[in-house]
Amino acid sequence: MPLASIPSPSDPFIFHLGPLAPRWYGVLLAVGIVVAILVTRQQLRLRGRDPALAGEVAIWAVPFGVVGARLYHVVTDWSAFSGHLGDIPLIQQGGLGIYGAIIGGAIGAAIGARRYGVPLLVILDCTAPGTALAQAIGRFGNYANQELFGGPTNLPWGLEIDPANRPAKYLDDATFHPTFLYEAIWNLIVMAILLRVARRWQRYPPGYVLALYLALYSLGRFFVEGLRVDPAHEIGPFRLNQVVAATVFACSLVVLLRMRRRSSSA
């Protein structure tokens, strides 16, 4: 047995009051969205834009992002939903894919940016730091659900998982890598880097902060994803989300290098 460990919540619900039983996952998702909007307001103000645009664009970006995140999860884990189509809308139980959220959110942001006459890349640059912070908050919803953890470990920060939530082959293991915590910490680091770069936004072309976010997040996600033991589609020795993360990282890195080359030659 490890000398120390991180206990998991015994209940994914905050409280039970008759039919009212809010889940930590859903509440943290909502908190993350609100915090992301507040950070986006600050970033818009920094660039001399109207901070109110954050809320106006969010009206479009948030629902599109949630739908995109859910569809990504359903498609990449179709075996879990093929016989349970009624579970698809139940996002409060977990199951949102960040890359689907990025695609869906970008589509919604494009609609909002067009309606309010602001360049899309400017909006996406401004939302990137807040998105990283929202992800850090949202990962604690996985903690509350006792899901998406890593393999067994005896490290002092090992996460206690109830037997009912362990994969069959790990029933005799009590503590696991807290991948929710690893990714949350990485997201906070990403946010700090993005905020530092954003303070000198005049030096970079529109889209630079977004590309940096995608590269940094995907780099960390590749390694964290490799620790997880939940069922996943695999491509060769890698999980599907690792392949997606590696692809996004490579593409974002190419975009960053081209942007820097253009900036230095201008």
Q: Does residue 14 lie within any of the structural domains?
A: no
Q: Does residue 222 lie within any of the structural domains?
A: yes
Q: Does residue 196 lie within any of the structural domains?
A: yes
**Per-residue buried b or exposed e for 131-143, using 16+ beta carbons within 10 Å of the residue's own CB:** bbbbbbbbbbbbb
Q: Does residue 50 lie within any of the structural domains?
A: yes
Residue 179 has pLDDT above 60, yes or no: yes
The count of structural domains within the chain is 1
Residue 111 has pLDDT above 90, yes or no: yes
Q: Does residue 4 lie within any of the structural domains?
A: no
Residue 26 has pLDDT above 80, yes or no: yes
Residue 70 has pLDDT above 70, yes or no: yes
Q: Does residue 6 lie within any of the structural domains?
A: no
Which range, of 22-31, 36-45, 69-78, 134-143, averages the lowest pLDDT? 69-78
Task: Calculate the average pLDDT of the chain.
Answer: 92
Q: Rounded CA gap, 161 and 151, in Å? A: 11
Q: Rounded CA gap, 254 and 190, in Å? A: 19
Contact status, residue 112 vs residue 61, Cβ threshold 8 Å: yes
pTM of the model: 0.92
Q: Does residue 10 lie within any of the structural domains?
A: no
Q: Dump pLDDT digits (tens) for 48-57.
A: 999 999 999 9
What is the extent of the structural domain holding 131?
A: 24-265
Q: Rounded CA gap, 4 and 47, in Å? A: 46
Residue 87 has pLDDT above 80, yes or no: no
Residue 93 has pLDDT above 70, yes or no: no
What is the mean pLDDT of the segment spanning 113-137? 96
Q: Does residue 1 lie within any of the structural domains?
A: no
